[in-house]
Structure 1
Amino acid sequence: MIIKEIRGKYPQIEADCYLAENVTIVGDVTIGKQCSVWFNAVIRGDVNTITIGDKVNIQDGAIIHCTYEKHPTVIGNNVSIGHQAMVHGCVIHDNVLIGMGAIVMDNCVVHSNTIIAAGAVVTQNTVVEPGSIYAGVPAKKVKDIDASAFAGEIQRIADNYVMYSSWYK
């Protein structure tokens, strides 16, 4: 595990979080309660700030970064960042699922209760509507999701990752 100070900033991580043994977390990073960061994930707050809310899971191989002097990365509460996804210099609101291998680029805003499909590429400056599913390259809205879909998928995955992390602690 690499947890390292960069430019006088040391990651601030709540004590109840699970961090896999080979994660890398450096610089100006804040991670909230009940989070988990999985194998080979990288959270690199070397060029700007990264703020991660509560009950966020950052799955295997995911990369969280930001843009020098322009775009910090802010991730809300109850967010799942899928395996090998990349989240870069953007804002992710609460209750969001970023699918496996998806990319969210600089200066994007992903509003609450949203799913970014696996493999989607949310291009720079995109504003993702709340309560929707975006898919494709470049990512476009494919449909609205209702409250039951939200409760059934986004919430289930976030809750499961809290449970999974308890197995490793």
Structure 2
Amino acid sequence: MIKSVRGHTPKIGEDCFIAENATIVGEVSMGAQCSIWFNAVLRGDVHFIKMGDKVNVQDGAVVHCTYKKAPTTIGNNVSIGHNAIVHGCTIKDNVLVGMGSIIMDDCVVESNCIIAAGAVLTKGTHVPSGTIYAGMPAKKIKDISPELSTGEINRIAEAYITYSGWFK
């Protein structure tokens, strides 16, 4: 479902895949080669959601904001894992958000990071570039290696471009 709300209509970039039961409403904009998967919800009803190129929002994930306070901005080459919640935060380029993780309002995840599956970033957490955060509440567990950067972050983002091609 793609729906206008409060005078805002979602803007979908070129060569994107939107699953039939995904929900995208309001002030949402996405770049090229993005994919929004089954049962994912992007609610730009209370503030804006801006996504760059090559972003995949996997099955059951929710991207939302806080009314008049916290928009959500997502950079390029970002994977948001199954059932993750991304709320009123900033995620920069080349980031993997693990399955079931939660990123709360006013968090900033710098480029080249991994947020582990099930991690909870509490309000206002700042994740420095090149790190891996895990746990509840999430804390730095180590620096990211070049192998993880290319082997996980880039591999998953590229894989989802391939997978989305199967449905177009």
* TM-score of the superposed pair, with normalisation by structure 2: 0.99
Aligned alpha-carbon RMSD (Å)? 0.5
In the alignment, is residue 27 of structure 1 matched against residue 26 of structure 2?
A: yes
Displacement of 1:23 after TM fit?
A: 0.5
> Are 1:105 and 2:86 an aligned pair?
no
1:129 is displaced (CA, Å) by 1.0
Report the Cα distance in structure 2 between the residues aligned to 1:36 and 1:69, rounded to whole angstroms: 27
Normalising by structure 1, report the TM-score: 0.98
Give runs of ≥4 in structure 1 deviating > 6 Å: none
For residues 70-81 of structure 1, the aligned pairs below 5 Å read 70-81=69-80
Partner residue of 1:119?
118
- Mapped to 1, the partners of 2:68 and 2:20 lie a distance apart of 31
> Is residue 2:68 matched to residue 1:69?
yes
Match of 2:139 in 1: 140
5+ unaligned residues in a row in structure 2: which ranges? Answer: none
Aligned partners of 1:32 and 1:11: how far apart in 2?
A: 11
- The one-character-per-residue Cα deviations of 1:60-83 (angstroms, maximum 9, x if unpaired) are 000000010111000000000000
- Structure 2: distance between partners of 1:49 and 1:119: 25
C-alpha separation in 2, matches of 1:117 and 1:14: 28
Q: Does 1:129 align with 2:133?
A: no
Q: Does 1:13 align with 2:12?
A: yes
Count matched residues: 168
Aligned-pair distance for 1:99?
0.2
Q: Give the superposition deviation at 1:148.
A: 2.4
* Amino-acid identity (%): 65
